[in-house]
Amino acid sequence: MITKEQGEMIGGEMLICESVISTLDIPVYKMALEQMQKSFSTREAATILSPRPFSELPEQDFQRLQIKQLELYVQLAENFQAMTKAKAKIQRAKENSNSLAHIFS
């Protein structure tokens, strides 16, 4: 069980993350991801065709991790957009419900 202080700390950190995530330009990140994946698969294929044992592995591992991180950034940004839309939809529904309640009261 987390403490109240830990919960507040997590909440604050999440707000910081959301403020950064909300600024990401998803189409640009997707283009960058696509280019990185193409470049990586080309290099990986070249390594398979002309193997140099152990010379490419650390760099390939690092590039694979970079691609995964960029994929996660895109997923976070898309999820944040979906959450923002859902929050707005909930807010509109509440406002409509309140206005209808006033009409019938």
Instruction: Tell me the pLDDT tens digit for each residue of 75-86.
Output: 999 999 999 999
- In angstroms, the CA 83 to CA 96 distance is 20
Structural domains in the chain (count): 1
Whole-structure pTM value: 0.72
Alpha helices (H) in the chain, listed in sequence order: 4-21, 26-49, 57-103
pLDDT at 18: 92
Instruction: Tell me the pLDDT tens digit for each residue of 2-50.
Output: 999 999 999 999 999 999 999 999 999 999 999 999 888 876 666 666 6
89: left (phi over 0), alpha (psi -120 to 50) or beta: alpha
pLDDT at 45: 66
Alpha carbon 4 to its chain centroid, in Å, reads: 27
Q: Which residue has the tokens 């403490």?
A: 3
Which residue range is the domain that position 34 belongs to?
4-103
